[in-house]
Structure 1
Amino acid sequence: MSIEEIQNEIIEEFSMFEDWEERYQYMIDLGKDLPLIEEQYKTQSNIIKGCQSRVWVHAEMEDNKIVFTADSDAIITKGIIAILIRVFSNQPPKAIIDSDTDFIDEIGLKEHLSPTRANGLVSMIRQLKMYAIAYQTQLN
């Protein structure tokens, strides 16, 4: 499935909920299903800078696609990174680099986050794209 198809799926899922209380609960549930990072990768170098809570992300290349795993010590943040990983994991680096993240605005996520969480969201996206750039460089 392409990044765009996954994003459209997420937009559809979020549109089923009437209010943000339900959407937050859904994000928390998504966080519970997050492909968890192995303990050995919960290191300082894998922490995303710019997040108020701690978020660890690990990336590996498998069959020319990046596979992300992550964890966070905060439940909402864990839900946010779960959404991003669902979109970007198992995708080729170039697709990640070239993708936009307009779906975040479409589901209203950024406007319903505190300023510090919104900054964290931007930091998470930046870090996932940085991994993609690094792996794309290796492929060239």
Structure 2
Amino acid sequence: MSTKLLRNRDIYNYLLEYDNNLGPLREISAANTPDSNIEKKGTYIKLGADFFGIIASKNGPLFFANQQQFPINSTELTFTHSRGEEQHTFTCHYQGKQIINLTYDRWDDIDIDPWSDEDFIDFFIWLTKSSKNHDFINQWTD
């Protein structure tokens, strides 16, 4: 097993033990984990019982949704996002098939950080806007 520890993008004290072949294994506390053991090029969020995130690979960043992985730099992967006043919708298509159609509540803590806006705080907006950016692809490539 090749496992990595990924930091939760929203809750700094949580880590996800992530296996490259099996996907998310378990969420753990970061309290007794040295920073050197935490993957620098990986992050995730948890919505309900579902895990979503990105992790770097030698072939470019991978988006994961629970046990499924998708190459972000593939022309066959597309993300769309639509904003609502209370809820947003995120969809993901891969090889012409809809993989994810998720309606979720708007992040509550948008105004907490005066230097960040919703486009950065909301994982799905950030991913949708960044995914086809060359610098983003390079940043998330090992």
Q: TM-score, normalised by structure 2?
A: 0.32
* Higher helix proportion (structure 1 or 2): 1
Q: TM-score, normalised by structure 1?
A: 0.32
* Higher strand proportion (structure 1 or 2): 2
- Larger RCO (alpha carbons 8 Å, 6+ apart): 1
